[in-house]
Structure 1
Amino acid sequence: MSDKIQRVALITGASGGIGRASAERLAADGFSVVVHYAGGKDRAEQAAQAVRDAGGRAVVAAGDVADEDAMAEVFDLAEREFGGIDVLVHAAGVMPTAPIAETPLDTFDHIQRVNVRGTFVVDQLAARRLRAGGAIINLSSSLTRLQTPTYGAYAASKGAVEAMTLILARELRGRDITVNAVAPGPTATPLFFAGKSQETIDRLASLTPMGRLGEPADAAEVIAFLAGPGRWMNGQVLYVNGGAA
């Protein structure tokens, strides 16, 4: 594929988990990828190197997703390196957990800053700068529907992500840019495992008829569909959770 027609994906939170799986999956489809991270530079470099080792093109970029100037620089870098951006996969986020009655308000504010403001900032930039034929893919969570205790602040933030996703899809009428959200269920990522006992992990895995946790690659397959052939899928939330209930 020539440089003139090679598509470009910017993936936030691509140093691990679903973000990294998406970077590797889209690279396998021929995308050049921008591996964004906020923390964990070494892991981001490893993700980019994995893409290069497989024959793809990748660069690494750092930035606080809730900082509009920092993220504008990430978009600038993508355009300098690869000539433009076709797909945004917004996988960056935080997930502290606690019962609502016990959640410190500063923790609540941090979750909303990263997950809600961060999505607004990054989607706003993408809406202004993606090329025609592009796709914006936000990461939500099946927790917006599962009503799992201790996830109140996080699920609230992802409910906002879904609302922004559906509205932006309609605001981009005539631009040939799709906007969708992927809402994974319990998925075997470092973010998921943090602070959980084996008993809790096993219980959450049992929620699906398939009796296992999702893998990052499960979500990445759906993201690749939305980034590529899924052009008639627009303004939707896709629950990628193996039937969790």
Structure 2
Amino acid sequence: MQRTALVTGGTRGIGRAIALREAGHRVAVAYLRDGEMARRFTESTSIPAYRWNVADFHACRHGVLEVTHDIGPVDILVNNAGVTADAMLHRMTPEQWMNVVQINLGSIFNMSRNVIESMRQRHFGRIINISSINGQQGQLGQTNYAASKAGVLGFTKALARESASANVTVNAIAPGYCDTDMVAGIASDILHNIVASIPVGRLGLPAEVDRVAAFLAAEDAAYITGATVDVNGGQSMR
């Protein structure tokens, strides 16, 4: 059955890969900053891209209504949008803290709150939240990022308990270090040490994350909820 899928941060990296994997459904992506990249994304994929700030609750409400009007009520939500603003805590500014927490964690509430009622009414929904290995094990210079991504895991479990009886599943994916623009910004010597700590000996690929998202979004994944799936090359084994 064809569903409507919405992927935030969907024009690049892991979000782009997930959006393309969901192409058997009606798919839309949300983005904020790079309008030219979004234009090229839509031209090359025919997937519509909508611009709004996921850290703004009312912008999310308007965006979800627009997607619903254009292609249908959201059945599958992938909360992928995220940012970093790294600094050791004794040098971190309040702005660095709040920006990361509002986008990485606040957006999970903003987006989920604006689709959950409709999902419950239709007795079907799949919410997939992208967390991170660093939300599980922490990382130097990332108290803001690690806290936000750890919060995603707690949110996922709580909403999964609330929504299970309505046939709405809520799961998280915790990627390790993947070959994306975000990781490309890491200094080469630090990145070398990171790769050396990964048992499979390389960075992950966005396609290796999107396969998990596609599985969790499937009709026959209905007995999986409140779970976190690690995709990290063995770097963290729980």
TM-score scaled by structure 2?
Answer: 0.93
1:142-221 alignment to 2 at 5 Å? 142-194=133-185, 196-221=186-211
Identity %: 33
Shift of 1:22: 0.4
1:76 CA displacement: 1.1
Cα distance in 2 for partners of 1:89, 1:145 equals: 20
Partner Cα separation in structure 2 for residue 8 and residue 233 of structure 1:
20
Q: 8 Å contact 1:23–1:51 — kept in the other structure?
A: no
| Counterpart-to-counterpart distance in 2, 1:204 and 1:49 | 36
**Alignment match of 1:82 (pick from 52, 71, 76):** 71
CA contact (8 A) 2:136 2:150 kept: no
Question: Which amino acid in structure 1 is aligned with residue 15 of structure 2?
Answer: G
Hey, what does 2:42 align to over in structure 1? Answer: 48
Stretches of structure 1 lacking an aligned partner (at least 5 in a row): 53-57
Distance 2:73 2:99 in 1: 31
As a proportion of its length, which structure holds more helix? Answer: 2
Distance in 2 (alpha carbons) for counterparts of 1:192 and 1:60:
24
One-letter amino acid matched to 1:36: A
- Residue 4 (structure 2) pairs with residue 8 (structure 1): yes
Q: Which amino acid aligns with 2:203?
A: L
TM, length-normalised to structure 1: 0.90
The answer to whether residue 130 in structure 2 is matched with residue 139 in structure 1 is yes
Q: Could you tell me how far apart the structure 1 residues matched to 2:207 and 2:195 are?
A: 16
Q: Does the 8 Å CA contact 1:36/1:44 hold for their aligned counterparts?
A: no
**Inter-partner Cα distance in structure 1 for 2:172 and 2:43:** 27
Deviations along 1:2-35, one digit per CA (max 9) or x if unpaired, are xxx52110000001111101001111xx111111
Q: Note the C-alpha offset of 1:129.
A: 2.5
The alpha-carbon deviation at position 163 of structure 1 amounts to 0.8
Letter in 2 for 1:183: A
Secondary structure at the aligned position of 1:9 is classed as strand
